[in-house]
């Protein structure tokens, strides 16, 4: 814009402001007398209203006031900054909220399950919720939308679920009253407990978050479940990391799990022991699933395959770990759809809990299963596959694996899961990564030197 035009505009604006100031003074004088009368009348009406309100609404007792505050705080959270269209219309505890909770949890097929999915806005949680909903089960999500990784990805998953009428209640596992409220409203048949503080290496940065979610949060959930009537059957996410320094291969459920290499692994192992206790004392049916490095579309940005993709596309160098004796590090990478089938299989074969209202009435089922792919792949090979799919060479930086909780190698024996619920992984790493990359470039709107035909060979993700 030319300079003279700016000067002219600012002069006009100043003149306008001055005129409006004069008009204001004039009108104030005229209105002064009448506004006094208006003010007195308003005061009188306000006094009458306060009196009427005091007669109809006596003061709240302390506990009611606290409850109201609690609900208000929560409803504020759920209608706050990140509110989605759905949460804003039904604050926690209100009639509209209860209706949504009930609708979401009600099965649409005869004898369908009613499942509370914790961590429903997470990677595995969102996929499982959609799969359960698709076959007509009732699904209520639960998630605290924390910012361990970009919460906008969790919000995008939430939108996906809402399109399928799956409602996610925003709350924390450690919020006992909120969880109890959910069980007051819905007689859940199952809990699929996937909410957790994930990530092996982050445990050195923020150890307390692992205790808060994976131990305190899990115990809180079990406390609520054991007291519920009926008690739900619980299927929950343990981890391949519980094998820690185990050297027997492939990892089988009978192998040692008392040598965790990270605090993360230790909290998952603790979860397995805690599960034993609640099964033993209260008759809760509990199934732990040891997931092996799950990957795929809508995955977790903190995992190597995800941030390698990002860094390769941005031309940033990536660290590829090697063991202390300079061997390749390998993982039994498992594709998300296989994991979903495993979770659903575990839910379908979970027996009912035997207790009710906090009392055990008989022996209940207690199970642990490996859910892996049964074919470990070196991290270097993972990177080559990504390079091929992205049409870009990675800047590889080979380094010794830092002593940060990582283990050199994982390999699942899944024969137990196969025997009990037909678990059979069918997606190899190349096929799974193709689906991941296709999703990634679409989701982030990237136009790199990606060979489009790379993605169409195997159908859509």
Ligand X SMILES: O=C(O)[C@H]1O[C@H](OP(=O)(O)OP(=O)(O)OC[C@H]2O[C@@H](n3ccc(=O)[nH]c3=O)[C@H](O)[C@@H]2O)[C@H](O)[C@@H](O)[C@@H]1O
Return the active site residues.
Answer: 264
Distance from C-alpha of 412 to C-alpha of 252, rounded to nearest angstrom? 7
Q: Given the rule CB under 6 A, which of 57-65, 183-191, 195-203, 436-444 is the region that contacts ligand X?
A: 195-203
129 binds ligand X (CB under 6 A): no
Q: Given the rule CB under 6 A, which of 28-36, 89-97, 183-191, 194-202 is the region that contacts ligand X?
A: 194-202
Decide whether 199 or 250 has the Cβ nearer to ligand X.
199
**Pick from 74, 226, 269, 331: which binds ligand X (CB under 6 A)?**
331
Q: Given the rule CB under 6 A, which of 21-29, 117-125, 233-241, 340-348 is the region that contacts ligand X?
A: 233-241
Distance from C-alpha of 385 to C-alpha of 392, rounded to nearest angstrom? 11
CB of 304 to ligand X, least distance (A): 4
Beta strand 167-170 with 334-335: parallel, antiparallel or unpaired?
Answer: unpaired
291 binds ligand X (CB under 6 A): yes
Output the 3-class SS for 3-36: HHHHHHHHHHHHHHHHHHHHHHHHHHHHHHHHHH
DSSP letters for 259-321: --SSHHHHHHHHHHHHHHHHHHHH---EEEEEE-SEE-TT--TTSHHHHHHHHHHTT-EEEEE
Decide whether 353 or 370 has the Cβ nearer to ligand X.
370
304 binds ligand X (CB under 6 A): yes
With beta carbons less than 8 A apart as the criterion, state whether 101 and 115 touch. Answer: no
CB of 291 to ligand X, least distance (A): 5
Distance from C-alpha of 77 to C-alpha of 79, rounded to nearest angstrom? 5
Residue carrying the six token digits 């990140």: 82
Decide whether 138 or 342 has the Cβ nearer to ligand X.
342
Q: Which helix (H) or strand (E) holds 371?
A: strand 366-371
Kindly write out the interface string for residues 4-43 of this chain, putting x where it contacts ligand X by CB under 6 A and - elsewhere. Answer: ----------------------------------------
CB of 271 to ligand X, least distance (A): 12
SS3 120: coil
Decide whether 129 or 240 has the Cβ nearer to ligand X.
240
Kindly write out the interface string for residues 141-160 of this chain, putting x where it contacts ligand X by CB under 6 A and - elsewhere. Answer: --------------------
**Pick from 379, 386, 412, 450: which binds ligand X (CB under 6 A)?**
379
Decide whether 185 or 215 has the Cβ nearer to ligand X.
215
Decide whether 102 or 396 has the Cβ nearer to ligand X.
396
CB of 198 to ligand X, least distance (A): 4
**Pick from 162, 175, 311, 319: which binds ligand X (CB under 6 A)?**
319
For the chain, the residue count is 461
With beta carbons less than 8 A apart as the criterion, state whether 136 and 100 touch. Answer: no
Distance from C-alpha of 282 to C-alpha of 364, rounded to nearest angstrom? 9
CB of 347 to ligand X, least distance (A): 20
321 binds ligand X (CB under 6 A): yes
The two three-digit tokens of residue 325, written as one number = 């004796």
Decide whether 387 or 406 has the Cβ nearer to ligand X.
406
Decide whether 168 or 379 has the Cβ nearer to ligand X.
379
CB of 429 to ligand X, least distance (A): 12
Q: Which helix (H) or strand (E) holds 78?
A: helix 62-79
> Within positions 235 to 264, which residues make up the interface with ligand X, using CB under 6 A?
239-241
Q: How many residues touch ligand X (CB under 6 A)? A: 19
Distance from C-alpha of 69 to C-alpha of 241, rounded to nearest angstrom? 41
CB of 75 to ligand X, least distance (A): 32
200 binds ligand X (CB under 6 A): yes
Beta strand 286-291 with 233-239: parallel, antiparallel or unpaired?
Answer: parallel
> Within positions 405 to 424, which residues make up the interface with ligand X, using CB under 6 A?
406
Distance from C-alpha of 448 to C-alpha of 428, rounded to nearest angstrom? 25
How much helix, strand and coil, in percent to the nearest 5, is found in the chain? Answer: 50, 15, 35
Q: Terminus-to-terminus CA distance in the chain, angstroms? A: 49
Q: Given the rule CB under 6 A, which of 103-111, 174-182, 196-204, 432-440 is the region that contacts ligand X?
A: 196-204
Binding site for ligand X (CB under 6 A): 198-200, 239-241, 291-293, 303-304, 319-321, 329, 331, 379, 401, 406
């Amino acid at each position: 814009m030319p300079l003279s035009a700016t000067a002219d505009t600012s002069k006009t604006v100043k003149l306008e402001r001055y005129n409006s100031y004069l008009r204001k003074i004039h009108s104030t004088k005229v209105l002064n007398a009448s506004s006094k009368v208006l003010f007195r009348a308003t005061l009188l009406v306000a006094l009458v209203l306060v009196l009427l309100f005091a007669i109809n609404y006596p003061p709240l007792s302390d506990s009611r006031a606290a409850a109201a505050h609690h609900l208000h705080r929560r409803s504020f959270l759920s209608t706050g900054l990140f509110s989605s269209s759905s949460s804003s219309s039904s604050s926690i505890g209100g009639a509209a909220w209860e209706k949504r909770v009930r609708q979401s949890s009600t099965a649409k097929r005869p004898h369908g399950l009613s499942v509370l999915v914790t961590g429903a806005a997470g990677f595995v949680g969102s996929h499982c919720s959609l799969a359960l909903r698709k076959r007509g089960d009732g699904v209520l999500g639960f998630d605290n939308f924390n910012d361990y990784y970009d919460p906008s990805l969790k919000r995008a998953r939430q939108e996906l679920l809402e399109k399928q009428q799956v409602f996610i209640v925003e709350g924390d596992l450690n919020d006992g009253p909120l969880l109890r409220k959910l069980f007051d409203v819905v007689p859940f048949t199952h809990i699929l407990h996937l909410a957790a503080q994930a990530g092996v290496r982050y445990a050195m940065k923020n150890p307390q978050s692992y205790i808060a979610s994976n131990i305190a949060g899990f115990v809180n959930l079990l406390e609520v479940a054991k007291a519920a009537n009926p008690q739900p059957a619980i299927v929950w996410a343990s981890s391949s990391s519980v094998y820690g320094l185990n050297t027997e291969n492939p990892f089988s459920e009978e192998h040692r799990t008392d040598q965790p290499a990270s605090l993360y692994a230790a909290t998952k192992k603790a979860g397995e022991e805690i599960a034993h206790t609640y099964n033993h004392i209260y008759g809760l049916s509990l199934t732990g699933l040891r997931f092996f490095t799950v990957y795929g579309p809508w995955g977790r940005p903190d995992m190597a395959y995800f941030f390698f993709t990002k860094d390769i596309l941005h031309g940033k160098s990536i660290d590829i770990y090697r063991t202390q004796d300079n061997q390749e590090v390998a993982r039994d990478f498992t594709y998300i759809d296989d994991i979903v089938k495993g979770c659903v299989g575990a839910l379908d074969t979970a027996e009912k809990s035997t207790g009710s209202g906090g009392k055990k009435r008989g022996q209940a089922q207690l199970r642990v299963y490996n859910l892996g792919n049964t074919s470990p792949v070196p991290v270097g090979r993972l990177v080559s596959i990504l390079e091929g799919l992205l049409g870009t060479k990675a800047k590889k930086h080979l380094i010794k694996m830092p002593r940060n909780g990582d283990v050199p190698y994982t390999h699942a024996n899944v024969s137990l899961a196969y025997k009990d619920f037909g678990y059979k992984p069918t997606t190899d790493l190349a096929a799974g990564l193709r689906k991941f990359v296709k999703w990634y470039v679409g989701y982030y709107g990237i136009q790199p030197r990606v060979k489009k035909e790379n993605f169409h060979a195997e159908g859509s993700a």
